[in-house]
Structure 1
Amino acid sequence: MMLKRIIVVLTVLMIYSCGSSSKVRTATVNRTKKTTVVKKRPFVVAKETDVVKQNNGKSEVLEATSKIAVTPEVVNNYISQYKEIAKENMRKHGIPCSITLAQGVLESGAGTGVLAQKANNHFGIKCHTGWTGESVHHDDDAEQECFRKYEQSSESYRDHSLFLTTRSRYAGLFKLDKGDYVAWANGLRAAGYATDVKYPEKLIGLIERYELYKIDEEVIGSGYKPIAKMSEKPLDANSYRVSQGDTLYSISRKFNLSVDELVQLNNLPGNAIAIGQILKIKS
C-alpha cells in the first residue's frame, strides 16, 4: 500500500516537472529582441555662393559674381516672361522694348545673375542719392557698391523706365526714333549708363539675334520704320559673323587659331556662341 502511494506521488511530480519545463521552453522561443534605431542628423555644408550675410540695416552683403553664360533657351524664356511688361513701359514711358529687354538680358544674365536672384534688380541700377528703399551691396566697378533691391521684378522694370525719364542726361534719348535701337544703344553709352565701351554692340547684338525689334513694331504699329541691321553690314578683315552650324572649334580651324585664342580675343565667358554674333579673329 505504501509502495503504491510512493509511486503515485513520484508520477505526479514527474508530470508537474514536465509541464513546467515545457512552459519555460515556450517562453524562451517566443521572446523577441528589441532593436533601438538611432537616426543621425545630416550634416549640411552651406555653399559659399549661397551665403547671404545679414547687415544691421536693410542691406545685405552678397558674393560678387563673374560673367554668366546662358543658353538661347534661357534668354528666350526670359524675353517671353518680361515682354508684356516691357511693352507696357514703352507705351507709358517711350523706351523701346528692344532696348529694355536687351538691357535686362545683359545686366541680369537673363534673370540668372546674383542681383536679379537676390534683389530682383534686372538692370544693375545703383542706389544713387535719394534712394530710400532696400539695398544690397555687390562688387561691380568698385568693391561693395550699393544696388537697389525690389520686392518684385516688375518694380525693377518700372524703376528702369523712371531712372531714364527723370534724369536730364538721358533726355536726348527721347528725341530719337523709338524704332531706332542702334541710336538708343549708342545714346545710352554716350549718356554714361554703362562704362563698357562695347555696351552698345552687346545690346544691338542681342536685339538682332533675338529679333527684339519685332516687339517694338508691335507697339509702334504702322508707324514703325525698320532700320538697317548691324548684322547685315559688311565686316572688316579682323571680324567674323557666326553662322548656322558654327562652333568655336570650327571657327578656330577656319582661321588657324586655337579655341583658347578665340575665347581670349573676344573675352568670352565660355564656349557658347550665337548666330549673328561678331567675333574677332585678329587682335
Structure 2
Amino acid sequence: MKRIILIICLGFLVFSCRSKKSVVTKRPSQTRQIENKPVEEVNTNETPKVYASKTEQYIDDYKAVAQQEMSLYGIPASITLAQGILESGSGNGRLSVEANNHFGIKCHEWTGARIYHDDDKEQECFRKYKDAKYSFRDHSLFLTERKRYSKLFDLKKEDYKGWAKGLRAAGYATDKQYPQKLISLIERYKLDDLDKEVLGDSYTKFELPKTAEMVTYTVSKGDTLYSISRRYNITVKELQNINGLNDTAISIGQILVVKPTSEN
C-alpha cells in the first residue's frame, strides 16, 4: 500500500514539473512577439523637389522669410527677394556662401563678424551673419532705420516698381540699371504674388504705363561678355555701359541687362 501511495506522489510531482516548464517556455515567445511588433513606417523614398534653376530654388527657400519680413516691417516681399537674388547671385555669390550676406550690406557701424570683398573698391568690409535669416532681418532694419529710405514707406506695398526706383534713388546701389533688374526679376518669377498673399483683401493692383520690356541674361559657366554680346547682337562696350561695368569680369549667376526698357 505504501509503495502505491509513493508511486502516485512521484507521478504527481513529475506531472506538475512538466506543466511549469511548458508555461516558462511559452513566455519568451510571447515577449518576443510584443518586442517585434512593427512600428509606424517612415517613407524614405520621397522624391526630392527638382528646380528649373538656382533662382527658383532660392525663391522657394526664402519666400516665407521675405513674407514674414513684409508683415513685420512693410517692405514688399517681392522687393526683398529680388534684391536677394540680384545681390547674392541666387545664393551662389561669395558673400552669401561665406558670410550669409544676401544683400551686400557693408559694415558701416557694424560691430559683429565681418568679411572683406572687392566691390566698388578693393577689399571693402561687409557684414557677416551666422544664418541667412539674420541677413534678411538686417536688411529690413537697414531700410527702416535710415532716413534716406523713409520715402519708400510712403509708397503702396503693391508698387514694386516705385520701390525699385526708390532704392536706387536713395543710394542703395550705384548700378544705373538696378531698378530695371529688380523689376525684371519680379515680373519674370511673379514675385508680386507673394505680396498679394501677405496683403490679402487689402491688395489693390498697381499699374504704370507700359514700356518696352527689358531683357536680362543670367551668366552661366563659360560665358564671356563677348559671347553674350554676340548672342544679343550688341557690342561689348554697350553691355558694359548698360550694366555699369568697368571691365570684362563677370561671374556665374550674375544678371546682366542685354536690352534696356524704352524709358532707359
- TM-score bracket for this pair, using the shorter chain length: 0.5 to 0.7
Change (3 A) 1:280 1:184: closer
| TM-score computed with the length of structure 2 as normaliser | 0.65
Matching residue of 1:152: 131
Q: Following TM superposition, by how much is the alpha carbon of 1:218 offset from its aligned partner in structure 2, in angstroms? A: 0.3
Give the total of aligned pairs.
191
Q: Following TM superposition, by how much is the alpha carbon of 1:225 offset from its aligned partner in structure 2, in angstroms? A: 1.7
Q: Following TM superposition, by how much is the alpha carbon of 1:262 offset from its aligned partner in structure 2, in angstroms? A: 2.9
| Structural RMSD (CA) | 3.1
Matching residue of 2:219: none
Q: Given the alignment, which residue of 79, 93, 99 partners 2:79? A: 99
Matching residue of 2:140: 161
Matching residue of 1:34: none
Change (3 A) 1:159 1:272: closer
Change (3 A) 1:194 1:72: farther
Q: Given the alignment, which residue of 109, 117, 121 partners 1:138? A: 117
Q: Following TM superposition, by how much is the alpha carbon of 1:223 offset from its aligned partner in structure 2, in angstroms? A: 1.5
SS in 1 for 2:111: coil
The correspondence of residues 31-46 of structure 1 with structure 2, limited to 5 A, is none
1:266 aligns with 2:246: no
Q: Following TM superposition, by how much is the alpha carbon of 1:73 offset from its aligned partner in structure 2, in angstroms? A: 1.3
Contiguous gaps of at least 5 residues in structure 1: 1-70, 243-256
Change (3 A) 1:134 1:186: same
- Preserved contact between residue 136 and residue 147 of structure 1 (Cα < 8 Å): yes
- Preserved contact between residue 262 and residue 281 of structure 1 (Cα < 8 Å): no
Q: Following TM superposition, by how much is the alpha carbon of 1:272 offset from its aligned partner in structure 2, in angstroms? A: 9.4
SS in 1 for 2:175: coil
**Counterparts of 2:73 and 2:215 in 1: how far apart (Å)?**
34
Q: Given the alignment, which residue of 207, 210, 220 partners 2:186? A: 207
Change (3 A) 1:111 1:270: closer
Contiguous gaps of at least 5 residues in structure 2: 1-50, 217-228, 244-249
Q: Following TM superposition, by how much is the alpha carbon of 1:224 offset from its aligned partner in structure 2, in angstroms? A: 1.1
Q: Following TM superposition, by how much is the alpha carbon of 1:280 offset from its aligned partner in structure 2, in angstroms? A: 5.4
Q: Given the alignment, which residue of 83, 87, 98 partners 2:63? A: 83
- Preserved contact between residue 78 and residue 195 of structure 2 (Cα < 8 Å): yes
- Preserved contact between residue 94 and residue 174 of structure 1 (Cα < 8 Å): yes
Aligned residues with identical type, % of pairs = 50
Q: Following TM superposition, by how much is the alpha carbon of 1:279 offset from its aligned partner in structure 2, in angstroms? A: 1.6
SS in 1 for 2:87: helix
Q: Which runs of 4+ in 1 moved over 6 A?
A: 270-274
Change (3 A) 1:225 1:120: same
- Preserved contact between residue 102 and residue 203 of structure 1 (Cα < 8 Å): yes
Matching residue of 2:152: 173
Larger radius of gyration: 1
SS in 1 for 2:116: strand
1:123 aligns with 2:96: no
Change (3 A) 1:98 1:263: farther
Change (3 A) 1:215 1:263: farther
**Counterparts of 1:88 and 1:173 in 2: how far apart (Å)?**
18
